[in-house]
Structure 1
Amino acid sequence: MKMFLVPIFLLASALSFCFAAARLPDSEVQALRYIAKSLRKTDWNFSVDPCTGQFGWLDPPLELFENNLTCSPGCSNGTECHVVSIILKAQSLPGTLPPNLTGLPFLQRIDLTRNYLNGSIPPGWGSSTQLVNISLLGNRLTGSIPKELANIPTLKNFTVEFNQLSGNLPPELGNMPSIERFFLSSNNFTGELPDSFARLKTLTDFRISDNQFSGKIPNYIGNWKNLAKLVIQASGLNGPIPPGIAFLENLTDLRISDLNGSEEPFPRLDNLKQLETLILRSCNITGGLPEYLGNRTTLKTLDLSFNKLSGEIPDNFVGLDKIKFLYLTGNLLTGEVPHWMWTDQGSGNRNIDLSYNKFTFEASELSNCLHSLNLFASSLIGNNS
C-alpha cells in the first residue's frame, strides 16, 4: 500500500500547482490572435500560454531587435494574468495596426519600432485608457494622427518619428494631461502648431524636426517648464526664436535650425545654465556672440553655424572646458583666432570649425594648426589652407 503513496502525493501536488498557476484569460488570447493577424506576425505559438515567456513569446533582446510579450507581475504565483506590454522591434512585420486594443484592457506599452507596417493609426486606439507608451518609430504609416488619442489620460510617450504621416496636428492633442515625450520628427506634417499645445506642461522632450509645418515657433513653449530637450530642426517653422524660450531653465539640449524669416539678435538664453547641447544653425541670428556662453561649463556641443554673427570670439570662451564640438562656420566673425583654439589646451579631442569667416591670422600660424581646427576660407588675407 505504501508503494502508491508517493506517486499519488506527487500527482496531487502537480494538479494543485496547475490549478493555482494563473493563465491569460481567453478574451486576451483571442485579442492577441487578432493582433498577430493584423500585424502579420506568424511566430507566436498559441499552443502554450502567452504568459509562460516561452516558444516565441519572449526572446533575449539583441541589438535593435526585441520580441517581448510581458504579463502582469506575479501572475505565475496564482494571481490573474494580463498582458501589460508588447514590444516587437525590428521584426520586419508587413501588416497594419489593429483597429483597436480594447481586448487587452491592461496594456500599458506597445512598441512596434522599425517594421514595415503601413496604413494609418486607428482612432480606436484612443479607447485603450491605460496606455502609457506608444512607439511606432520607423514604419510606413500614413494619414494623420487621430484626435481620439487625446482620450488616453495615462499616455506619457508618443513616438511616430520616421513615418509618412501628414496633415495638421489635431488641437485635441493639447488635452493630453500626462504627456512627457512627444516625438513627431521626419514626417510630412503641415499647418501651425495648435494653440492648445500651450497646455502640455508635463512635456520633458519635444521633437518635430524634418516636417513641413508653417507659421512661427510659438512663444507658449515658455509654458513647458519641465522641458529638458527641444528639437526643431528643418521643421518648416519660421523664426524668430521666441523670447519664451528664456524660461526653460531645465533645458539640457536645445536644437533649432533652418528658420526662415527676418534677422534677429541672439536670443536670451542666459537663464539656461544646464545646457549640454546648443544648436542654433541657420537661424538668421545677427550681432555678436554673447559672453555668457563662455560661462556654460556644461556645454559639450555648440553649433552656431550659418548665421550672420559678427565681432570677435569673447575671451571667456576659453572657459568651455568640456566642449567637444564648436562650430561657428559661415558667419562674419573677425579678430584673431584665440590662442587656446590653436593649442587645444586641456582637451586634446576638441573639434572646432571656424571656416568661412573673416578672422585675421598669418599663414605662418598655420604650422601650429591642429587637425581638429578647421580654418578653411576663414581669413581676411584669403588663405584657404
Structure 2
Amino acid sequence: MNNELSGKLPGELGNLTALTKLLVSRNSLEGEIPISVAASPSLSIFNLSENLFSGRVPKALYNNLNLQVVNVGVNRFSGDVTADLEEMSKLPNIWGIQMNANQFTGSLPPSIGNLSSLQYLDLSFNNLDGIIPESIANCSSLQYLVLSSNKLTGSIPRTVGQCSNLEFVNLAQNYLSGDIPAEIGNCTKLRVLHLGGNKFKGKLKVDFSRVTSSNLILGISNNSFIGDINFFESIATNPNFTIVSACLNNLTGTIPTNYDVKRLSKLQVLMLGYNKLEGKVPEWMWELPSLQVLDLSNNKLSGPVTSSSNFTLLNGFIHKNVKTVPYNCHKLDSYCAYGFDFYLNDRKFEVSMSYLTYFKYLDISCNQFSGIIPPSIGKLTNLSYLNLSNNAFTGVIPAAMGRIFNLQSFDVSHNLLTGPIPQEFAGLSQLADLKMGNNSLSGPIPRSIQLQSFSVDSFLPGNDELCNEPLARLCIVSKNDSTTTADPVNFNSDSIENFISVLGFVVGFVALAIAIFVRHYQNHPKKKVVPADSSLTRNYDRYGAFKLPE
C-alpha cells in the first residue's frame, strides 16, 4: 500500500460509513489514530502496519462486530495489550491479529481462547510478560502463532497439541522453560517450530512421525537441551526435515554411527555447533543427499575426515524460505527460522535468494580432527564458506581446493599444516576472508591481485618460511633446485642497499609513466567500475518474515 503518504490520518475518514477496508500500510503516517476512524461501523480490514503511529489503539475499534483483521504491526503504539486482546476476544469474525514490533506491554489473557476463528496471531517484538495460557488450545483454527522476542515465562502448555491446524510456531527469544511437550507432535500440519533463545532443558522427545508437511524446520538453538542419540532419533522420526538448528546446547555423547541416510534425505541445513559432542563424524553425515550447510564447530569431535567421504553429495538447493544463512550459529537465535543471517567479517551480509541457489557452508572448526585434509573436499565446487580451523590437520593444503572458485571465506588457521600454498589459489577471485596463520606453511604465496590484497594477518603468526607479498620477505629460488619451491630471506643491510638502488630507477620510471597517464586520463576520463558483488547486498525487513494477507 506504499503511496509515500505522510502526516496524520484525517479524522474525516470516519464519515465514510460504508468503508469496509482501510489499507494504508508502508507509509510515513504518524500521530494517534482518530477515534472517528476507529469507530467506522463497517470496517472489516484495518491495516495501518509499517508507519509511525503512536499512542493507544482506540477501544472504539473493537466495538465493530464486522472486524476480521487488525494489523497495526511495526509502529510505535504502546500501552497494555491485555485489554485489547480481551475486547477482541468478543469479536466473532476476527481471524487475523498482527501487533508486532511496537511497545506493547501486558500479557495474554485466558479469554484469548474464545477466538475460535483466529488463524494468525503475531505479537512478536514487544514487551509482553506472563505465561502462554492453556486456553490457547481453544483457538482451533490457529495456523500462525508468533510470540517471539518478548519476556514470556513458564512452559509451553501441553494443550497446544490440540491446535491441529498449527503450521508456524515461533516462540524464540523469551524466558520460556521446561521441556518441549511431546503433544506438539499432534500438530500434524506443522511446518516451522522455532524455540531458540529460551531456557528449555531436558531431552527432545517429540515424535514428529505424524507431521505431514513436506518441508519441516526446527530451531532449538541457545537453550539447555541435553542428550545424544535421543536427539537424532527424534529428528529421524520424520524424513521431511529440511532445516535443524540445535547450536549452543548441552548435547553430549557420540553421533550415532549406524544410520539410514534415507531417514534424513531432505535435510539441507544441520547446525550442531557449540555443543559437547565427541568421537568421530560418521560417514553417513557426509552422504546426506540434500545437505548443504553443516556446522559441527566447537565440539569435541576427533579423528580424521576420511578421504572416502563423498563430498559431491553435499549439493542441492536451499529451501525457498531460506533467504540468508548463518555464519555463526549463535546469531540464529534472534531471528525467525526462515530469517537466518549470514555474518562475514563481523558485518551483516545479506544476500537475495537468487544468489543462494548453490550456496554451500561447512564449518568443523574448534574440534580435534586430525590427519590430512581430504582432496575430495575440492569436489564442493560451489562451496562459499569453509572453516577447518583449530584442529590438528597435518600434511599439505590440497591443490584441488584452489578450484573451489566460489569460495569467499577460507580458514585453516591453528592446525599443523606444512608445504606450500597451492598455485591454484591464485584463481580464487571471490575470496574475501582468508586465515592461514599458526601453521608451518612454506614457499611463495601465489601471485594474484586477490591474495596480495590481504593483510599479513591472513598468513601470520607462524608460517615462518612463507614469502612474497604481502609479507616483508623476498623469495629466492634456489639455482640448484629445478622445482618451484623458494626460500624466504629477511631484508638485511646489503639487500636493502641493492634494493634502494633498483628502487631509485623504478621510481623515476614510474613517475614518468604516471605523468603520461594523468594527461591521458584528463582527456579521456574512465568510467567508474562497480564491484561485481555490490548487487548481492540486500536488506530484508526484520519484521517481514510473517505478514497477514491483504
Shorter-chain TM-score tier? 0.7 to 0.9
Equivalent residue for 1:30? none
Residues 1:208 and 2:157 are matched in the alignment: no
**1:121-157: CA deviations, max 9, x gaps?**
2222210111111111110111122221222111100
For residues 166-211 of structure 1, give each alpha carbon's deviation from its aligned partner in whole angstroms, at most 9, with x where no partner exists.
1122332222231111111110001122343232222111011100
Confirm or deny that 1:109 pairs with 2:45: yes
1:236 aligns with 2:172: no
Query: How far apart in 2 are the matches of 1:172 and 1:240?
Result: 25
Percent identical among aligned pairs is 25
8 A contact 1:239–1:259 mirrored in 2: no
The answer to whether residue 52 in structure 2 is matched with residue 131 in structure 1 is: no
Q: Is 1:41 aligned to 2:9, yes or no?
A: yes
Structure 1 residue 245 corresponds to structure 2 residue 184: yes
Cα deviation, residue 356, structure 1: 1.4
Q: 1:254 Cα shift? A: 0.9
Structure 1 residue 188 corresponds to structure 2 residue 124: no
TM-score normalized by the length of structure 2? 0.52
Relative to structure 1, the CA distance from residue 92 to residue 331 in structure 2 (aligned partners, 3 Å threshold; closer, same or farther) is: same
Query: Partner residue of 2:206?
Result: 267
Matches within 5 A, 1:1-150: 40-41=8-9, 82-99=18-35, 101=37, 103-145=39-81, 146=84, 147-150=86-89
- Looking at structure 1, the residues matched to 107 and 67 of structure 2 have their Cα atoms a distance apart, in angstroms, of 23
Per-residue CA shift, 1:58-89, capped at 9, x if unaligned? xxxxxxxxxxxxxxxxxxxxxxx932211111
Q: Is the 8 A contact 1:219 1:245 kept in 2?
A: yes
Partner of 2:266: 322
CA contact (8 A) 2:271 2:294 kept: yes
RMSD: 3.2
CA contact (8 A) 1:101 1:128 kept: no
Counterpart amino acid of residue 365 in structure 2: F
| 1:164 to partner: Cα distance | 0.8
State the structure with more CA Rg: 2
User: What is the DSSP-based 3-state SS (H/G/I as helix, E as strand, rest coil) of the residue aligned with 2:87?
Assistant: helix
Counterpart in the other structure of 1:383: 391
For residues 174 and 101 of structure 1, the distance between their equivalents in structure 2, rounded to whole angstroms, comes to: 28
Distance in 1 of aligned mates of 2:306 and 2:201: 40
Query: 2:46, 2:71 within 8 Å by CA — same for their partners in 1?
Result: yes
The question of whether the paired residues in 2 share the 8 Å contact of 1:85 and 1:108 is answered with: yes
- 1:161 corresponds to which letter in structure 2? N
Per the alignment, do residues 129 and 217 of structure 1 end up closer, same or farther by CA in structure 2, a change over 3 Å counting?
same
Which residue, 352, 358, 361 being the options, matches 2:294?
Answer: 352
Change (3 A) 1:95 1:294: same
SS for the counterpart of 1:246 is: helix
Counterpart of 2:260, as a letter, is N
Say if 1:363 and 1:383, in contact at 8 Å, map to a contact too.
Answer: no
Asked if the contact 2:201/2:226 (under 8 Å) is kept, the reply is: no
Describe the shift of the 1:171–1:346 C-alpha distance in structure 2 as closer, same or farther (beyond 3 A).
Answer: closer
Q: Secondary structure, in 3 states, of the residue corresponding to 1:352?
A: strand
Q: Deviations over 1:318-354 (max 9, x none)?
A: 6433333211112222343243554x6644x711111
Q: Partners in 2 of 1:140 and 1:383 — Cα distance?
A: 49
Tell me by how many angstroms 1:364 deviates: 7.4
For 1:274-332, what per-residue CA distance to the aligned partner results, in whole angstroms no more than 9, with x for missing partners? 25211122332222233353463322211121222232146224643333321111222
Which residue among 267, 272, 281 is the counterpart of 2:221? Answer: 281
The code of the aligned residue for 1:312 comes to I
CA shift, 1:367, in A, is 11
Query: Structure 2 vs 1, CA of residues 131 and 291 (structure 1 numbering), >3 Å: closer, same or farther?
Result: same
Distance 1:249 1:100, change over 3 A: farther
Q: Which runs of 5+ in 2 are unaligned?
A: 315-359, 371-389, 393-411, 413-550
User: Which residue identity lines up with residue 23 of structure 2 in the other structure?
Assistant: I
More deviation, 326-335/127-136: 326-335
* Structure 1 gap ranges (5+): 1-35, 51-80
Aligned to 2:475: none
Contact 1:295–1:317 (8 Å) recurs in 2:
no
Change (3 A) 1:217 1:292: closer
Equivalence for 1:177: 116
